[in-house]
Structures are given as structure tokens and as C-alpha cells.
Amino acid sequence: MVPCLESMFNTIAAVLPFQPDEAIDFLDLGGGSVVLSEFILEQFPNAHTTILGSSAEALENARQANERFGDRFKTLPRDFAREDLPKRYHAVVSCLSLHHLNNIEVRGLYRSIYSSLHAGGMLIVADHLAAPSQLLAEWHRAAWQRDANMLGASDEDIANAESRQKDDNRTPALEHLQWMFNAGFRDVDVFYKNLMFSVHGGRRPRL
């Protein structure tokens, strides 16, 4: 339940350093939001996208949702937290997937992503993160509940969403940026933030 999902997607499109007509290869980790690959393929009509994930059900849902793109879209079953990523891509994106990993796995994944990118390639992650303090976490939750209610979510919907999230691993944005920098990325930044929701990433430097 992400009230600002459209703004997050628009931010991803805005910060990708490519022209709309470029033939670029994207890797979507997890397919946490099936519509992210669809959005990218619409924004970049000559692009190709691969969703990488370990859930057969999620990959099948993604395949069905993107059938109209033909060979511009494919899925690849793989546990990206524990297996090497395929090479090479112009951009690696992820939406609402990395919070299922522990911090050690995320740090290792950032290193693996760096190796899978072309020089000048981008990593962009859209996810929900931890607030840097308990007070801010309480403010974020109250504002998120208000926004969700305004979009039609019931109190039961919100309770169910929170129950699904109870085992999520959330880390503050600054730690993610430091991990990306340590993996070799530069120009790391939070490109968008709305309460606990963030779009952040970095660039593999050109040689």
C-alpha cells in the first residue's frame, strides 16, 4: 500500500540518464511491483527488461502483465540475494523487493549489482525505509495511514498491510547510500522521499 507509487515511478524515469529512444537493457530485481517493468518499457520504447526473481508465481504474473511487449520483456528465475547476477545492464532497478533481505544480503547485492552494470550504468531502488528516529517513525506511520485512508483504504486494509510488513527489514536511507558508496557507486543520492518511501541509488563511474 504505497500512496506515492506514481511519484516514485516518475522519479525513476526522470533520473535515468538515457534518451527515450535509446536501446537499453534493464534488470528488475524481484518484480516487487510488476508494473515497474511495464512503466519502463512504455517510457523507453526501444528498451529491453528482464525481471529476476525466485518466486515462480510472481514471475508468471509479470510475464502475463507484460505479454504485449513481446521479446522486449523476459523473466529469469534466480535468487538474486545468493546467486551472481547476469551481465551486463545499463540500469538495475528494484521496487519494493529489497526490504525482504537482511543487511548483509543487501550489502552483498549492491556489490553484485555494481559488477553487473556497464560503466555509467545506474542502480535505482524504490522501497520503504526506516526512519532515523522513533518519533519520526510514528509521524511517518500516522501520515501514511491518513494518506491511505484518503485513497480509500479501510482501517482493516491498513492493519493487514502492517501485518504483512512486520518481518520486513527496514534500514535508514543514509545507511543504504553508504553501502552503495562502499560498493563503488558514485553520485549516490535520495532522489525522492515521501515519509518512509524512498527512491535512492547511484551510478557506476565511467572508466
Q: Compute the distance between CA of residue 68 and CA of residue 63 in angstroms, rounded to an integer.
A: 9
Residue 139 has a CB neighbour count (10 Å cut-off) of 14
The domain total for the chain is 1
* pLDDT of amino acid 162: 87
State the chain's mean pLDDT as an integer: 92
Residue 135 has a CB neighbour count (10 Å cut-off) of 9
pLDDT exceeding 90 applies to what percent of the chain?
Answer: 74
pLDDT at 196 over 60: yes
49-89 pLDDT, tens digit each: 999 987 888 888 888 888 899 999 999 998 998 888 988 99
pLDDT at 119 over 90: yes
Q: Compute the distance between CA of residue 6 and CA of residue 50 in angstroms, rounded to an integer.
A: 21
pLDDT at 203 over 60: yes
* pLDDT of amino acid 181: 99
Residue 18 lies in a domain: yes
Residues listed for the chain: 207
Residue 149 lies in a domain: no
Please give the C-alpha separations between residue 131 and each of 39, 54, 138, 205, in angstroms, as whole numbers.
28, 29, 9, 29
Residue 163 lies in a domain: no
27-46 pLDDT, tens digit each: 999 875 568 889 999 999 99
* pLDDT of amino acid 34: 67
* pLDDT of amino acid 84: 87
| Domain of residue 22, residue span | 5-131+169-203
Domain CATH code at residue 116: 3.40.50.150
Residue 150 lies in a domain: no
